[in-house]
Amino acid sequence: MVQNRILFTTDLHGSNICFRKFLNAAKIYKANTLIIGGDITGKGIVPIIKQEDGSYKAELFGVEQTAKHEQELKNLEEKIGAAGFYFIKVSKEEHKALSTNEKALMEAFNSLMVQRIKEWVALAEKTFKNEKVKFYMLPGNDDIFEIDSVINESDYVVNPEGKCVLIDEEHEMISTGYANITPWHCPRDIPEEELEKKIEEMVTKIENMSTAIFCFHVPPYGTKLDQAPKLDEKLQIVIEGGHVVMTSAGSVAVRKAIEKYQPLLGLHGHIHESRAFDKIGRTMCFNPGSEYGEGIFHGALINLDKDKVKGYMLMTG
């Protein structure tokens, strides 16, 4: 008898389709605990520009898209949302103005990100609120702080940032979406020392480490979970001998904490291309990876018994 079945996903980056697949996967595989491990907001806005003839034009993945009537426009909006992007419908003049106004653009971004998280939280509530399923949605280093309040306002979906939550009778979970500094200096990038301090503060709240879960967006340094292409100072990928140089991009503080406290489980994301599982001592660590842009859902299904990971599977759909 499995005590708790966790479905963990991460780095959805605004992809409506991946979020909906996540919800459906939870239903199909009868998961009791649903966790999104950070980076839930999208990265780009696709301007849908109104043309003189009343049609709309946009470019998605390098391909020009035209919508001549309402239904086509709706399809285009869905397509953009599925890929994790936001859209704004603008005239040519508005588009030109937005292109040169950084402040207005960031306001548009914030508003669209908040709106989508509101929609996701509402959909999660509608789907699972009346079932015995727990739902955790953790903001990650890429996510703006404005979305925290949207999640916090829900009486169902829990934002576990900085907290120690009891996901069932036996298993406590501490979580953080903060990451060590990345080349992009994202909203929740902090120095390793600060991250270590945050983790240490949370650890004090755990009663039983042998059954505890560390849900840290950034993976532990020097594992199969944190292999990313090396970048130079211009953020260009370093290629040597025709081959990309890979490097560890995880957090030393996270690794240190896992090595020191040896929890039952580590749930991580952040590095999309490092879909893997690895063991640090007794701690089983997962990074399900992400292909949100392709609309491909990645998740980790984990069967937990009291103090052991009974079974696990990295899944794609």
Partner 1 sequence: MSEEKKLFVRRTSGLTRIIGPFAAMVFGVHCISLSSSGLIPYAWVPWLWPGCDLIAVLTISMIFCLFHATTYAQIGSIYPRSGADYVLGSRVINPMLQFGASFMFTVFTSLTAGALIAWIPSAVLPSFLWSWGKIFNVPHLLDWSKWVSSPTGVLVVGLIFVVVTYVCMIMPTKIIVRILNTGFFLGVIAWVLMYISYLMGNHEKFVAAWNKFAEIPYDQVIPLAQQHGLTYGPTPWWIMTLAGLIMGFWIYYGYYIPNFFAGELKEAPRTLIIGNISSLIVTWAIFTLGAALMYPRLMSLEWMAAEGYLYYNTDVWALPFSTFYANILWPHPVPVFIIMFAFVYTLVNLAMTYFFYNSRIFFAMAFDRALPEKIASVHSRLASPVVAMTLCAIIAAVGVALSVYTVIFVQFNFVLYACLVQLIPVTAAVIYPFVRKEEFSRAPKLVNFRVGPIPGITLIGCITLGYLLWMITSTYLFPAVGGFISGLTVGWFLSFFITGIIIFNIMRYYRLKKEGMDILWAYKEIPPL
Residues 221-260 contacting partner 1, CB under 8 A = 222-224, 227-229, 231, 237, 239-246
Longest dimension (CA), the chain: 66
**161-169, 170-178, 195-203, 294-302 -> range binding partner 1 (CB under 8 A):** 294-302
CA distance 231 to 229: 6
Answer for which of 122, 123, 209, 252 binds partner 1 (CB under 8 A) is 123
Q: How many CB atoms lie within 10 A of CB 208?
A: 13
273 binds partner 1 (CB under 8 A): yes
Q: Footprint of partner 1 on residues 186-205 (CB under 8 A)? A: 186
Alpha helices in 136-275 (DSSP H): 146-153, 192-203, 252-261
Q: Which is nearer to partner 1, 79 or 268 (CB)?
A: 79
Q: Footprint of partner 1 on residues 7-66 (CB under 8 A)? A: 11, 13, 16-17, 20-21, 23-25, 27-29, 39, 43-47, 49, 57-59, 62-64
Q: Which is nearer to partner 1, 129 or 205 (CB)?
A: 129
State the residue for tokens 């130079």: 232
Q: How many CB atoms lie within 10 A of CB 304?
A: 25
- Tell me how far, at minimum, the Cβ of 206 lies from partner 1, in Å: 26
Residues 92-121, mask of contacts with partner 1 (x by CB under 8 A): x--xx-xx-----xx-xx------------
Strand blocks (E) in 177-256: 179-180, 189-190, 213-216, 227-229, 239-240, 243-244, 246-248
